[in-house]
Amino acid sequence: MNIEIKDLRFTYPTGLEAVSGISLTLEAGEQVAIVGQNGAGKTTLVRHFNGLLQPTSGSVKIGDWDTKKTSVAKLASRVGYVFQNPDEQLFSRDVLTEVTFGPRNLGYSKEKTDGLVERALALTELSDKTETNPYDLSPTWRKMVALASIIAMDTPIVIFDEPTTGQDAVNVARIANVIAELQKEGKTVITITHDIDFCAENFERVVALSKGQVLLDGPAREILGQEEILAQTYVEPPQLTRLGKRLRLKETVRNQEEFLNAIARRA
């Protein structure tokens, strides 16, 4: 199921235009990272995908559904959105109730709901915390509850808004694992991130936003090599990419494996 964004503009009631003419197609099953400085319009853009925001002009289509003509409740069956701040998302007394809410609300049978909840809890390593109140968990684990409650809805499109911000290395690896699993299942995963190493390791396509517009869009390898253009939105390529450039490696490398391979080829 594709996401079709056409000439999208969005102005907040304050008069600030946060999205200034974006056209993009995100294909079914793609893994896309959205990068760009604070205030570039990343969150505003993705909040259009599940109808939390409506275009001031232009349009967003999720498959054949125009978000202007589709309720938020209905869009929830196609697009899952994990908030940057889990505290804006979580409201239940215990983890199991929280994670069960979404699939039940979508009207799935008890059997299907139970299966989805079990899988979401296993993927996020929460299976032993089902009776805990999310607010008694550390922020790290609260983040995983927020992920689990969206994954359990089994939507074809999943959006993560800054999933790694404030997370330790162990949890970043857990989140990467969740994304890889969703990828295997053929889901479209859209991730807003400041963490450029995370972006390089986990995503094939990168969209860089600046001032409400698309600055760069393409394969990660190409985009992360465009140091000067990325600098316009205060995004630095990953350390290894920059080191590779200084070593004058022929290709743009994104991670340790590519770096080592390029060095080996040169030797």
Ligand X SMILES: Nc1ncnc2c1ncn2[C@@H]1O[C@H](COP(=O)(O)OP(=O)(O)O)[C@@H](O)[C@H]1O
When asked if residue 43 is in the footprint of Mg ion (CB under 5 A), the reply is: yes
| From ligand X, Mg ion, none, interface partner of 28 (C-beta below 5 to 8 A by class) | none
Which stretch in 41-49, 89-97, 118-126, 140-148 sits in contact with Mg ion by CB under 5 A?
41-49
CB of 175 to Mg ion, least distance (A): 17
Residue 40: both structure tokens together: 């570039």
| From ligand X, Mg ion, none, interface partner of 156 (C-beta below 5 to 8 A by class) | none
∠ CA 8-159-147, nearest 5°, is 155
Q: In what order do the strands lie in the sheet with 3-11?
A: 17-26, 3-11, 57-62, 65-66
Residue 110: both structure tokens together: 């008890």
CB of 37 to ligand X, least distance (A): 7
Q: How far apart are the C-alpha atoms of 46 and 28, rounded to whole Å?
A: 16
When asked if residue 18 is in the footprint of ligand X (CB under 6 A), the reply is: yes
| From ligand X, Mg ion, none, interface partner of 233 (C-beta below 5 to 8 A by class) | none
Beta bridge partners of 26: 3
| From Mg ion, ligand X, none, interface partner of 218 (C-beta below 5 to 8 A by class) | none
| From Mg ion, ligand X, none, interface partner of 135 (C-beta below 5 to 8 A by class) | none
Which of 167, 29, 6, 161 minimizes the C-alpha distance to 83? 161
Task: Encode 157-220 in three state secondary structure.
Answer: EEEEECCCCCCCHHHHHHHHHHHHHHHHCCCEEEEECCCHHHHHHHCCEEEEEECCEEEEEEEH
Size of site (CB under 6 A) for ligand X: 12
| From Mg ion, ligand X, none, interface partner of 51 (C-beta below 5 to 8 A by class) | none
Residue 217: both structure tokens together: 């869009």
The pattern of x and - marking residues 30 through 69 that bind ligand X according to CB under 6 A reads ------x-xxxxxxx-------------------------
When asked if residue 21 is in the footprint of ligand X (CB under 6 A), the reply is: no
Q: How far apart are the C-alpha atoms of 198 and 193, rounded to whole Å?
A: 8
CB of 6 to Mg ion, least distance (A): 22
Size of site (CB under 5 A) for Mg ion: 2
Q: Which is nearer to ligand X, 13 or 186 (CB)?
A: 13
Q: How far apart are the C-alpha atoms of 239 and 251, rounded to whole Å?
A: 15
CB of 31 to ligand X, least distance (A): 19
Judge contact between 156 and 28, C-beta under 8 A: yes
The SS3 assignment for 23 reads strand
Q: Which is nearer to ligand X, 44 or 202 (CB)?
A: 44
Q: Which is nearer to ligand X, 18 or 235 (CB)?
A: 18
* Bridging pattern class, strands 31-35 and 205-210: parallel
Which stretch in 13-21, 89-97, 150-158, 246-254 sits in contact with ligand X by CB under 6 A?
13-21
Binding site for ligand X (CB under 6 A): 12, 14, 16, 18, 36, 38-44
Residues at the contact surface with Mg ion, assessed by CB under 5 A: 42-43
